[in-house]
Amino acid sequence: MPRLTFDKERVSLNIARLRKGSHCFEVVVDPDLAMAYRQNQPVGVKDVLMDQKIFSDAKKGMLASESAMKQIFNTSEQLKVAETILKKGDVHLTAEHKARLIEEKRKRIIDIIHMNGVDPRTHLPHPLSRLKNAFDEARVRISQYKGAEDQVQDVLKALRPVLPIKFEVKRVEIRVPAKYAGMFHLLVKGFATVLKKEWQDDGSLRAVIELPGGLETDFYERLNSSTHGSAETKVLTAV
């Protein structure tokens, strides 16, 4: 059986593996690009592969036989075989990469919930520290395979027994004095969607915006700081 030797730095490999009967076919992959490829993002097979060779055991450097590839895939062309492995096989990540991937998704999920979620009793966002503690208390499990956005609803279900929380969108009416009206779009940028705006005879601007409930407090802080407390706000609806 042909055999290659990997350098010590490459002992920990991220691998896509496909088993067919007694045969095993493996390719060494870039873990992030492999997951992107599996999620049908515009990534080419060549970009995913760290090495275009097909292995029977990548960690030992053992190459798959051409006859086995022809028997299973009806071709020994490596890129075509690799494409099938990536689409139909399993991606096996190193422990280090799994931990990093899960932590990144955990942070992203916390950000999404903090931005959109409020305490249904007060309609105010939970402090970020309370939200993080609730993750630990509820022993929330994050999947390395699913996207962060796809896990939010499952995470909310896990959190609710220890932390009352719901997603809320608020519609707020704002009046910005003429002195600060010119900076209106900078004030709301990154926080809200502008639904309506009207210039008043005195040069002030009256607008209706929609923003995630979890951003309400931060938005008011920016608004008050930028207008020195002269802006007026009124919550119209909260859903």
CATH code assigned at 35: 3.30.1250.10
Residue 11: band (very low, low, confident or very high) from pLDDT cuts 50, 70, 90 = very low
Residue 232 covered by a domain? yes
Residues 115 and 87 in one domain: no
Residues 127 and 159 in one domain: yes
Residue 169's nearest CA partner among 213, 111, 118, 112 is: 213
Instruction: Compute and round to an integer the Cα radius of gyration of the chain.
Output: 26
- Take residue 109 and report the two structure tokens written for it: 């999920």
| Model confidence at 110: pLDDT above 70 | yes
Please tell me the predicted confidence (pLDDT) of residue 64: 94
Q: What is the pTM of this model?
A: 0.67
User: Which has the minimum average pLDDT: 9-13, 122-126, 169-173, 218-222?
Assistant: 9-13
Structural domain count, the chain? 3
Residues 187 and 121 in one domain: no
Q: Return the beta strands (E) in 75-204 as ranges.
A: 90-92, 117-118, 166-167, 169-176, 193-199
Residues 87 and 119 in one domain: no
CA angle in degrees (0–180, nearest 5) for 206-187-207 = 15
Residue 87 covered by a domain? yes
Contacts of 237 (CB under 8 A, 6+ apart): 170, 171
For range 91-114, the mean pLDDT = 90
| Model confidence at 125: pLDDT above 80 | yes
Residue 6 covered by a domain? no
Per residue in 20-50, pLDDT (tens digit) is 989 999 999 998 899 889 888 999 999 999 9
Choosing from 121, 137, 166, the residue where a domain stops is 166
Residue 118 covered by a domain? yes
Please tell me the predicted confidence (pLDDT) of residue 12: 73
Residues 77 and 104 in one domain: no
Contacts of 76 (CB under 8 A, 6+ apart): 66, 69, 70
Residues 177 and 189 in one domain: yes
Residues 195 and 129 in one domain: no
In whole angstroms, give the CA distance from residue 219 to residue 239.
Answer: 18
Choosing from 46, 75, 92, the residue where a domain stops is 92
Q: What percent of the chain has pLDDT over 90?
A: 68
Choosing from 59, 92, 125, the residue where a domain stops is 92
In whole angstroms, give the CA distance from residue 56 to residue 18.
Answer: 10
Name the DSSP class of 4. Answer: -
Please tell me the predicted confidence (pLDDT) of residue 217: 87
Residue 206 covered by a domain? yes
Residues 177 and 194 in one domain: yes
Please tell me the predicted confidence (pLDDT) of residue 238: 72
For range 45-65, the mean pLDDT = 93
* 3-state SS class at 119: strand
In whole angstroms, give the CA distance from residue 20 to residue 233.
Answer: 64
Domain ranges, residue 40: 13-92
Residue 7 covered by a domain? no
Residues 146 and 200 in one domain: no
| Model confidence at 10: pLDDT above 70 | no
Residues 159 and 185 in one domain: no
Q: What's the chain's average pLDDT?
A: 89
Please tell me the predicted confidence (pLDDT) of residue 38: 87
Please tell me the predicted confidence (pLDDT) of residue 87: 92
Residue 4 covered by a domain? no
Please tell me the predicted confidence (pLDDT) of residue 221: 92
Residue 194 covered by a domain? yes
Per residue in 127-150, pLDDT (tens digit) is 999 999 999 999 999 988 788 899
Please tell me the predicted confidence (pLDDT) of residue 113: 94
Please tell me the predicted confidence (pLDDT) of residue 9: 41
Residues 232 and 174 in one domain: yes
Higher confidence at residue 142 or residue 9? 142
CATH number at residue 184: 3.30.70.240
CATH number at residue 154: 1.10.10.900
Instruction: Report the helix count and the strand count for the chain, using DSSP H and E.
Output: 10, 11
Please tell me the predicted confidence (pLDDT) of residue 159: 95
